[in-house]
Every structure is written in structure tokens, then in C-alpha cells.
Amino acid sequence: MNYVFDPAPISTVAVHGSDKRIPVRRIFCIGRNYAAHAREMGKDPDRDPPFFFLKPADAVVDDGTTIPYPPQTENFHFEAELVAVIGIGGKNIPEEKSLDHVWGYGVGNDLTRRDLQLKAREQGRPWDLGKGFDRSAPVGPIFPVAAVGHPDKGTIKLTVNGEVKQEADLADLIWSIPEMISTLSHSMELRPGDLIMTGTPAGVGPLVEGDTCVVSIEGLGDLTTYIGPKE
């Protein structure tokens, strides 16, 4: 292929216990998927159909990365999330077959410029710049299903400088992983390398320069992110 400029490098996430990497295609995120978080965002935690937004694939960063405090925000938030990685694509996937499409699971942090997101929400505008900015998707090493199965319970926790800010159980998800995969696949064809960030529990809050943010999920290890100075 005779490109007019070099194509972007392939974005990847780590695999636990391996030097192989997972090429990332898209990052789907679900909104308000824990009842207590929906309430803290001023919304009713009902069973209205789930809604999704995306981050660009190149928003991923590895465990242990220092992220510069992002521009154009004064309310930069953490969101602890379980991440599912699609290994086998498909469309119109029935719920009972959904888990066959998952390659593995890991720990993620849906970093958010909350002030931009809420302003967009008020104005009925897209969330992209509040959610899909540079380095907005730290993702820890992915554990293959062969090693960890399909986590549907277990503690999800986030600390900032050692202080617990979020703590919940994966069993509290409003929409389960099979329901999310099935719903998404009826809207777009899922492909290998698609990541699904499955929503955050209550307790979201700000990060500032110098903070160390650690997300942990039982059985899936820790994801540490350091916040550096503004670039």
C-alpha cells in the first residue's frame, strides 16, 4: 500500500503472564451500570435499555503509566471498571451465546473530564470530548477466560493515594456482560479486539497532579495510574 503518510501504530493492551499483546479495535463503554452510581449522577437506576459511548482505540495506556493532567478540565475523574475483551466477532449474538465471544477480562479506568461530560449532557451534545480524550483508558493486563472464567461477582475497588473511594461487587451490575454483548452486537458487528468497559460503581471523584490511583478487581489484579503535571 502506498500511503500518503505512515499509518497509526496498532494500539494494544497487555496479556497477563505473557509477552503477547491484544490489538485493540474499538472501546465501547456503557453508561450508568451500577444503581448507586446512576443515583449519584442524578439519574434513575432503572432498566431502560443500556446506552453506550466509545473511546478511540489509541486512548488505551498500560498499567503503571503516568498520565499528564488533561487539558480543558478542572474536574478530572476516575471510574473503576471491569473490562471484557472480545476475541471472536459476531452480530445479533443471542445472550446465551455471548460469553463464547469473550477472550478475557481485565481492570480498567474510564477517565473522564466530568465538567465537559456534564456540560455536554445538559446541552444534549455528544460526550466524546469528556470521555474519549488522549490516554483516557488505562487498562491492566488481560486475563484469558481459560484462566479466570467469566467473573460475575467479586470486589471491584478503587483507591486514590491509598484511600478507598469506590468499592462494590461485580454482582451489582445492572446489565450483565452477556446482556451488554448481545445488545451491542444487535447494533454493530463486534470484532476481535473490541473492548467493553462495563460501567463504574458509586463514589466517582477527582484526581489531581501527584495522585496515585489504583483499581483492583478480585482475581484480575491491580491497575495503577499516576497523575502528572499538565503538559
Q: Which is nearer to Mn ion, 108 or 144 (CB)?
A: 108
∠ CA 193-194-197, nearest 5°, is 130
List the one residue out of 215, 108, 92 whose CA is nearest residue 165: 215
Instruction: Report phi then psi at 21, rounded to 5.
Output: -125, 155
Q: In DSSP terms, which residues pair with 76 in a beta bridge?
A: 113
Residue list 112-151, contact with Mn ion (CB under 5 A): none
List the one residue out of 29, 47, 37, 136 whose CA is nearest residue 84: 29
Q: Which is nearer to Mn ion, 31 or 178 (CB)?
A: 31
Tell the smallest beta-carbon distance from residue 28 to Mn ion (Å): 11
Write the binding mask 172 to 201 for Mn ion: x where contact by CB under 5 A, - elsewhere.
----------------------------x-
Q: Does 159 bind Mn ion (CB under 5 A)?
A: no
Q: Which residue is nearest to Mn ion (CB)?
A: 110
Residue list 9-68, contact with Mn ion (CB under 5 A): none
Residue list 76-115, contact with Mn ion (CB under 5 A): 79, 110
Q: Which is nearer to Mn ion, 15 or 131 (CB)?
A: 131
Residue list 196-225, contact with Mn ion (CB under 5 A): 200
Q: Which is nearer to Mn ion, 97 or 119 (CB)?
A: 119
Q: Which is nearer to Mn ion, 15 or 27 (CB)?
A: 27
Interface residue list for Mn ion (CB under 5 A): 79, 110, 200
